[in-house]
Structure 1
Amino acid sequence: MTHNTPLSPRSPHRIADGARRVLTHAQLRARGVSAAEAGERCRPGGPWQQLLPGVVLLHPGPPTGDERLHAVLLYAARERTGSVPAQPGADRPPASPAGEAMITGLAALALHGFASAPPPASLEVLDVLVPRLRRLRSTGCARVVRTSSLPAPEQVTGVPVAPVARALADAVARLEDAVAVRRLLTEAVRGGHCEPAAAVRELTAAKLLNRPHVVDAVDSLLAEGRALAERRLYRMVRDHGLPEPCWNVDLRLPGGPRLGGLDAYWPEQAVAVELDTRAPRPGRRPEDEAEWSEYARRREHLERLGVTVVHITPRKLRDLAEQQAAVVRTALMAAADRDPAAYVVVLPR
């Protein structure tokens, strides 16, 4: 019998011997197993069990973590015609329905490598993200999360998984434990999984910033993100052979007001680097608008005084450090061709 020949109802063990131990009723029918026989084998004490509506586990014992993940994806895709997601661990990407169903929440974070997220096998339910108009309900170990804007899934060991920022928002939406929320957000940044601004955008879109324990965790997230960006800035200067600047300084006019703080400053060339770690939040409060206006005013003032300010985002430091080092180097070299800057006092910040 060739690989593509359907199995007869008399040889169901040949299915269980294959790589997939979780199949839909449609897949079983394609292999020659009738609905009646599948139902008989899923009776209490039988060799199979129905894990989710329309999804059968081809052994009587507890499902493994991979089997539960696969079952949830099969359940979410079962209303589509023909194709179904790939088995977790498979080399090929999932078929088209997996583009409309992906694991999210805590299970997705665990697959992304979060140590603070419990393994999928230990979770009572697994969150699956689907388009808002899908006619699908939460049941058993599958909890349906709907969205009007489905992100492109990322493949993790063959499983379609929501991007980290989206998975974070879906996980935080279910958590009331402030410590757990803070731990997840901190690991997202410290582990290099996600930029703070991306996480804040998803949390804002999910309307989670009206929860005090989430707001407190976001404040810690932004502080963590800034500390990480500062370390990347130090490494950029040293790895790319830039002159050593004065780090973390305040500038003042002699006998005058404070001009603002800078992350790095080269006094002889009057070149400064400022990390732009602001996290845009839709629907900003009036005090947020005031902060942004002050940021722009301070930058313009320094430029009028002849100080060249190079603004670098954490993402560019992470992904384009060599390019950003070249920008700073160009500004330093161009200093000789500019008019001298106004005299300013440099103080530690």
Structure 2
Amino acid sequence: MTGTPKKAFILLADGSVIEGESFGAEGTTIGEIVFATGMTGYQEMLTDPSYYGQILTQTYPLIGNYGINSFDSESGKSWVKGYIVREWCDEPSNFRCENGINNFLKEQNVIGICGIDTRALTRKIRESGVMNGMITTEDVIAKKDEYLTQIKEYVIADAVNHVTCEKPFEAVSEQHDYKVVMMDFGYKANILKSLQKRGCDVTVVPGGTKASEILAKKPDGIMLTNGPGDPAENVEIIENLKELVKSGVPIFGICLGHQLLALAQGAKTSKLKYGHRGGNQPVKDLLKDRTYITSQNHGYAVLSDTLNPEIGTVSHINVNDNTCEGVLYKNTRAFTVQFHPEASAGPMDTAYLFDRFIDLMKEAK
């Protein structure tokens, strides 16, 4: 970092002001402030559509040490509303490095702040719960009351429609073994790659695509992807999923897809106090009686006790708080998980779930 750094400020909904230094783009941004605990994978986080509407705080103190490349992005752009780090590295070192984190944020018009105590901020969020906030390079004190009103009025709404693809597209495999329709609620690129690697020709469709249009493609399986926002607000998608369940076509859901299918089957969801975000979340597979370390990014969870036991059973639980992390359905060929088995930069411990989906399609055939 060269020259005199420009000041930047965080203003939280409770009125707290935190002073730091500007990096990335300059200006003012408002979002829901969340934290992620991964030691690596910052590029994947920045380009994960599930962070739409949120200001991301990294708990790991040094970010950007291996740079940015053209291979690891989960989508074509950054979706975060802002970025908070303790320190960023201005001399990254990695054989794949093509860009620095500061330049990347400027190119993506993401407003960042560094030089703050991210541990203290994370502790505040853990104790108080996720809250709205602002990053600004303007005079926060002079406009504090005005800013606080804007912060308190901010809501993440209609999130899936903001991140889903505009029209269907094809992504074929080398083997052409299975036809999968992937409902894009804000998909991560590695979900698509994981399916292609296993011989799936994938048709990616907008999240709001009607069940009749999906079934007309005669898929061997249906993939429900991750995505942002409150799952319960996606009323039309939930109705479509009810029809897809009746078809008997094998279904695999991840993250938001997991929540949406549970809602379609009569269960309920609720917002977590501060969510699960990062690549070190322990999950127990109840079928295998084994605990895996998983990558997660979600602020809502399926309420286990609202799931009809005649329809489905909880298959995975979070070891830290016992929240529902997976459902195995009894009334149709479907299973879902809250975590990310396709995770990059890792861990890849639960990639076997994609193989389970392949087996389900093989049985259905």
- TM-score, reference length from structure 2: 0.31
Which has a greater percent of strand? 2
Greater relative contact order structure (CA < 8 Å, 6+ sep) = 2
The TM-score, its normalising length taken from structure 1, stands at: 0.32
Larger radius of gyration: 1
